[in-house]
Structure 1
Amino acid sequence: MWYTNRLANQLAEVEQHFVELYKLSVEEIEELTSDADLQLDVTFQTEVLKQMETVPRITTDMNGHVVYWAGFGSRDNDAFGERYEDSVYIQRVVESWIEEGRVPVRGYAQLQYFGESRLLRQLRFFPIVQAILIGTFIFLGYLGINQARRAEQNRVWVGMAKETAHQLGTPISAIMGWVEHLKVMYAEDAEILEVSNELSHDVDRLSMVANRFSKIGATPELEPVNVYAELEKCREYMAKRAPRKVSFDFPDPASPPIKIAINPLLFDWVIENLLRNALDAMDGTGRITGRVREAENMVLIDITDTGGGIAPKNVRKVFNPGFTTKKRGWGLGLSLVKRIVEEYHRGRINVSYSEIGVGTTFTIALPRV
């Protein structure tokens, strides 16, 4: 770009020399032809005038009215055949040149104005075109690299999730078998049966977790579900496992239904993850609030806790893989939550509010059915 700009400046200097030479040629022709009795050769001066065909020039009378122009390509005229719209355009060009301070060449009862040739104008714009092209290539390259990086991340996530589901499958099946064996052997022992039933519930839950992992990377099967009923199911599950000093304030499941297209297994995973994080943030006491709002064709779900809040510098990092403020955390929970909401349900999730010592609100936006 620097080299192109340098060429443009050099070409401008050359054209300025041509203008000076043109001025001298006009003056010499006027001097040599002022005396009709003299028969002098003005071939050189005339040839100089012909070499100026590529430089735009406009001839006006002493009052500023355009009488002739050349060097404008399709807008050139032949003294009598100019079009009205072209003459108006040329008049505006003259006015702009005068405003720019261009000095005309004075002839016999005429003024000659000169502009920049088309080649010079193109050279001046060429660095801008170069910058746009370079910027476009850089942008496309960034998109390509970013897309490749995301694809690699997807393969890692899918592989890790499926391997986890596979590794959990064998011990879960074995535990199920042993639980059923206990039920048969101690069918008359009420206490052992009660313990066996609770074990069955937990094993079923563990099996569901493995099933969730197996669905990562697969095409999600979405179905219309009442958001109130699904939230209540998650609340009941987490309330049984929450400290007694933690209260839950969720919408009435009997409210007029609002349906969203979700995969229940994955959606429950999202809500339970948010509730579990809320419980960890409150240290055994506080309140978790769930709210449902409607906005055009979207359903907004707010999960609010009264925990310690998130530092402003960390708000944008909470969904990054590996980021965690917990001593034993892996930093994968919210990252998976974001992927499930955005990639599988075509929704959005963000931290809509957080204040240190007050609490945090996560907002999920999902398309309404």
Structure 2
Amino acid sequence: MAVEERNKVELWAKAIEQISGTNDLGSEYLNFLMEVTSKNTTIPIIVVNADGTLNSDANITYNEARKEEVLQKELKKMKDRVVPIKIELSENEYQLLYYRESSILRNLRLYPLVQLFVIVIFIVVAYFAFNATNQAEQNQVWVGMSKETAHQLGTPISSLMAWIELLKLKNVDENLVKELEQDTKRLERITERFSKIGSKPELLRVNIVEVLNSSVDYLKRRSSDKVIFETSYDEKAYVETPLNAALFSWVIENICKNAIDAMGNNGTITLKLKEKDNQVYIDISDTGVGVAKSHFKTIFQPGYSTKKRGWGLGLSLAKRIVEIYHSGKIFIKSSELGKGTTFRIVLNK
């Protein structure tokens, strides 16, 4: 089309030459030449004299008051893009014809880019749709497994509770029965957690300090003596926050258990709590091996684990519980290889 437009302009220039340079044209031939020049209704044209002054133009829209300014701008664009066509008027007199592509041709040049853009958009949408479908399927599998686990745990827990009551009647060592009772309650809580995966849990206004204290006490009893737990907050304070205590304590325990593994069962875990504006900040620090910056986000993805055993779901579930169920945030605040890591949890009061 570009070549065809060039041919049309050359024919237009040739017609002007013939009209200007011959006086003895027959009327039919003259009419033919005039028709050739009038047929061009799409290609913008500017004709300049040999001295560079504007002579005539065609197919350029402008306001009469701004004619000179518009034509000069158009001429500059044309000079940058095309080689002018010389119109020989006489032996010593000539004009130069400049032109640019028609709007149809310019739009056609953009058409492949528009097509490419549409294809890219389609591929991106298809990719995200596929990922969303895949993620939804995975979520359904995990939800199904969680609920089935909770269901399967129900029967043995009921039996354990009955056995504990029987042991109480048999005057068995009180401390032993108490420990069994605590472990059974722990199993009940785990079952409750699994049963709530996949459904929006109920948030109650509770004292988050009590939830932290309870989680730390449980972890202390189940951890090595070489693991030291420090709390940098008032353990008797009252900080009311909308929480699902069973699920949130799971978050604290998961982070602390990861910290214990990172420290090799030997080090210090520090929990800090502070209020600011309408939010609660919980920082959990350890003295473990640390996390590389490149893993700050991937550490929360399902399957990520540096341990030989385990499925790498702890931190993924923690993120889901904090961000989806509690509308909060959880992230690695800071970490230094060989020195330790600090996780931060932000909750709305």
Alpha-carbon distance in 1 for matches of 2:326, 2:55: 71
Partner of 1:56: 44
Partner of 1:124: 109
Structure 2 residue 49 is the aligned partner of structure 1 residue 21: no
The verdict on how the C-alpha distance between 1:157 and 1:52 changes in structure 2, with shifts beyond 3 A counting, is same
Counterpart of 1:12, as a letter, is A
Superposition deviation, residue 48 in structure 1? 1.9
Partner of 1:164: 149
**Percent identity of the aligned residues?**
42
The verdict on how the C-alpha distance between 1:226 and 1:362 changes in structure 2, with shifts beyond 3 A counting, is same
Which of 202, 205, 213 is 1:232 aligned to? 213
Q: Is the CA contact (8 Å cut-off) linking 1:228 and 1:251 kept in structure 2?
A: no
What whole-Å deviation, never above 9, does each CA across 1:72-111 have from its counterpart, x for those lacking one? 4xx37xxxxx443576444422232234465265476865
Partner of 2:164: 179
Instruction: Give SS of 2:232's match.
Output: coil
Structure 2 residue 325 is the aligned partner of structure 1 residue 354: no
Alpha-carbon distance in 2 for matches of 1:107, 1:223: 92
In the alignment, structure 1 segments of 5+ residues that lack a partner are: 1-10, 77-81
* Cα root mean square deviation, aligned: 2.8
Which of 238, 250, 257 is 2:231 aligned to? 250
Alpha-carbon distance in 1 for matches of 2:26, 2:155: 114
Q: Is the CA contact (8 Å cut-off) linking 1:347 and 1:364 kept in structure 2?
A: yes
Structure 2 residue 281 is the aligned partner of structure 1 residue 300: yes
Q: Is the CA contact (8 Å cut-off) linking 1:60 and 1:112 kept in structure 2?
A: yes
Equivalent residues in 2 for 1:340-351, closer than 5 Å: 340-351=321-332
In the alignment, structure 2 segments of 5+ residues that lack a partner are: none
Superposition deviation, residue 59 in structure 1? 4.3
Alpha-carbon distance in 2 for matches of 1:286, 1:225: 31
Q: Is the CA contact (8 Å cut-off) linking 2:81 and 2:100 kept in structure 1?
A: no
Structure 2 residue 262 is the aligned partner of structure 1 residue 277: no
Superposition deviation, residue 70 in structure 1? 3.1
Structure 2 residue 70 is the aligned partner of structure 1 residue 70: no
Alpha-carbon distance in 2 for matches of 1:255, 1:42: 106
Partner of 1:153: 138
- TM-score, length basis structure 2: 0.87
The verdict on how the C-alpha distance between 1:25 and 1:162 changes in structure 2, with shifts beyond 3 A counting, is same
Instruction: Give SS of 1:357's match.
Output: coil
Q: Which deviates further from its counterpart, 119-128 or 260-269?
A: 260-269
The verdict on how the C-alpha distance between 1:324 and 1:39 changes in structure 2, with shifts beyond 3 A counting, is closer
Alpha-carbon distance in 2 for matches of 1:26, 1:67: 13
Superposition deviation, residue 193 in structure 1? 2.5
Counterpart of 1:125, as a letter, is L
Which of 84, 88, 104 is 1:103 aligned to? 84
Structure 2 residue 188 is the aligned partner of structure 1 residue 210: no
Q: Is the CA contact (8 Å cut-off) linking 1:232 and 1:253 kept in structure 2?
A: no
Partner of 1:3: none
